[in-house]
């Protein structure tokens, strides 16, 4: 499926018979906003195969219960699925995670060591392998 532009994404979503996702989630809320911006909210209501847990999204597509899956890339990394890619930049909504050490931390040195590890090459390799973008 072509999702290279907002127009191509819209057409791909409209052409799909069914789409697995978790509407009752932060990603689902963002997806609803994308559907609204694309002007396809009503059409997507009938195509959405609501799941309740991330693993169920991949299962729904792998078991032919849904044609497409839309969720966070890190959740969709599954050997049974073919990843098409992230949504185009004009509709993309990235989730940014930030880490820090609390001023009243009981173990500030351990917390700092953990943060340093998260920025190390081995940790960055794992983060990328899980479909996330290290900062």
Q: What are the Cα distances from residue 122, in Å, to 73, 97, 117?
A: 20, 19, 8
Query: Residue 97: what pLDDT?
Result: 82
Residue 55 and residue 24 share a domain: yes
Structural domain range at position 109: 97-135
Mean pLDDT, residues 61-86: 92
Query: Residue 31: what pLDDT?
Result: 94
| Lookup: tokens for 57 | 């999204």
Q: Where are the alpha helices (DSSP H) in 1-135?
A: 6-15, 26-38, 41-47, 54-62, 73-76, 108-118, 121-129
Residue 98 or residue 2, greater confidence: 2
Query: Residue 98: what pLDDT?
Result: 87
Residue 58 and residue 113 share a domain: no
- Of the three residues 76, 105, 125, the one that is the final residue of a domain is 76
2 band by pLDDT with thresholds 50, 70 and 90: very high
Percent of the chain with pLDDT over 70: 100
Query: Residue 130: what pLDDT?
Result: 82
Q: Label the pairing between strands 68-69 and 48-50.
A: unpaired
Domain total of the chain: 2
50 strand-pairing partners: 21
Give the integer Cα–Cα distance in Å for 11 and 9: 5
The answer to whether 47 and 17 are in contact (CB under 8 A) is: yes
């Amino acid at each position: 499926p072509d999702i290279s532009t907002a127009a191509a994404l819209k057409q791909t979503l409209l052409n799909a018979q069914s789409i697995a996702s978790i509407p009752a989630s932060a990603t689902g809320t963002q997806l609803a906003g994308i559907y609204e911006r694309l002007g396809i909210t009503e059409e997507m209501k009938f195509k959405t195969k609501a799941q309740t847990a991330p693993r169920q999204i991949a299962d729904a597509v792998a078991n032919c219960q849904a044609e497409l899956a839309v969720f966070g890339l890190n959740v969709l990394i599954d050997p049974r699925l073919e990843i098409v890619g992230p949504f185009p930049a004009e509709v993309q909504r990235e989730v940014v995670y930030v880490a820090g050490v609390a001023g009243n931390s009981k173990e500030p040195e351990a917390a700092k060591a953990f943060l340093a590890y998260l920025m190390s090459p081995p940790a960055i390799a794992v983060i990328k392998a899980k479909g996330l973008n290290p900062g």
